Amino acid sequence: MPGVEPVIGHPISGLTDGFTSLALHALLVHQSLRDLIHYARLSTSESRFWRDTALILGISRARTLEQEELEVLLKEELVPLAVRRARLDIPREKQHVLPRGHASVLTALSDVSKSIAAGQFQRALIVGVDSLVSQPLVEHFFQEGRLKTPEHPIGLMPGEAAAALLVEEERAAQRRGARIEAFIGALSLGTETVLERGSACQGLQLAATIERTLAQATHIGDIYGDLNGEERRAREWGTFLARLPRESLLSHTASHWPAVSFGDTGAASGAISIAAAARSFARNYARSSESLVWSRAESGEVASGLVIRP
């Protein structure tokens, strides 16, 4: 058919078929929470446990005018809906939405660490959720020249996902006999100047943010980052690498880009990177005891941190 190009994407076939808008996001969040509760051997009936738990939901801001209504729905209805469906007794005042796109999960981890230290709650469920595979959004990416196609190999592959992390202070986790898979540290946040499409961005804030994380690292073996096939993202990362001295903590690392396998998963990408790094420890294929994770949101937020072997 003239004017039609095949698009490379990663919908979750068989699970999200027929779901859109709020219902789609609710389904993804519910599945991620169910998986975490099962994997961590938690019980939904332990009311005291969940009353001391916060739920932070990371989402992306509206990418088009048509998505603005969805953004409002996600902010107002998704967390209460997810809590009810999962039957978790999490107080309303401990339910929050963080619209930081790709940087949502690492930003939430930074916020949560301060809140736990201040005694506001004992632990937090951090969930990132996003879907970039709807027809209107794919058409929007295509019109902007951002999609990977046979005729345009430099571009993103739309994906969709939700991923959940349970975070708490080490001693509290040990007291309840929890299986600790990783520690998170050296979190750093920043914001790039958002430029018009086609304008070059030097990635100076991304570089400064990662450098602050590296200043607290000792031996990094793996990098899990936010390259998604787009030239601008790669240029920013390349600029950062060019700033490094010949011998640095990243000189002998392996790089992993989850978007190659899952597509661009937006606000879920940070949790996916952290989970992948944690599993590399559990399965003993990590190159060292520390992995660097970094995220770059479309709206300019950047974040980085270390995932550390227990």
d(CA 95, CA 91): 7
Stretch 4-33: mean pLDDT? 92
pTM above 0.85, yes or no: yes
pLDDT per residue as tens digits for the range 89-136: 999 999 999 999 999 999 999 999 999 999 999 999 999 999 999 999
Give 184 or 299, the one with higher predicted confidence: 184
160: helix, coil or strand? strand
pLDDT per residue as tens digits for the range 195-240: 555 555 778 999 999 999 999 999 999 999 999 999 989 999 998 9
* Strand-pair partners of 222: 254, 291
- CA–CA distance from 128 to each of 59, 95, 157, 163, 240 (Å)? 6, 14, 18, 6, 26
- Give the model's pLDDT for residue 246: 81
d(CA 26, CA 129): 9
Fold of 183-308: Peroxisomal Thiolase; Chain A, domain 1 (3.40.47)
Instruction: Specify whether domain 21-175 bears CATH 3.40.47.10.
Output: yes
**Where does the chain hold its CATH 3.40.47.10 domain(s)?**
21-175, 183-308
Mean pLDDT of the chain: 94
